[in-house]
Structure 1
């Protein structure tokens, strides 16, 4: 089964720069800031966690389900009886416009990461978009893969060596060393080191 991940909720704003400043101040990380023709702009910010809403049922219009393969994901939804659009991409860039404006049938011509979509809705009418993400920017990994047992064994050894230097700078033992190791090992894997 395809791994469907909710990673983006589109939030309508009146001033993109003001909203971007607000969300980055409260800890969101900037992933994408894309400007296209006609003043089109899409900013993608990420923060772990979730929340609740008092919005009316069926009013959600911005959930993005991130998938590795939008064609396979679309086929799985269709096989489950879900009414899902054909795969499309945007005429002007890597993100899609509201509704069907600027939609071009088929995959992005270069199959660019973040560039191919399909859309659907739940029974209440809440709409969602499948978005294909195949390559992430450095530091933004979806999972860590070690190609061999030797490589996996080496990862904590490298982390232990680096952590020893970190504790030397601290001047005391780090009681939160598992978290430090995890961040260090994930960063090293995302950089290919």
Structure 2
């Protein structure tokens, strides 16, 4: 049985502000931005090189969470120093790189306070 994680809801207060942050600063691709009804909006974004996307949504009770409540989503990179520098250059407030015995981390927050972690693993995945 295959189980493919392909969509993660990210709770935000302002979809347009979050969409701009993820596309313009972090570099995610906009897959779609649809309004199937007057109260429902679905924005799907995908990190470069990823098979898993995030969804920013309004009016979808099944995925409702408090804005900013998501913690520690990992974006795995080959070169954490280069990825950190690129994001910082785009205006993303980046934490320092921490080496925890061959696995390196550097974090950032989106405008709502959801936290993300860049991760570089020794020897790759």
Q: Return the TM-score normalized by structure 1.
A: 0.33
Kindly indicate which of the two structures has a greater share of residues assigned to strand.
2
Q: Return the TM-score normalized by structure 2.
A: 0.50
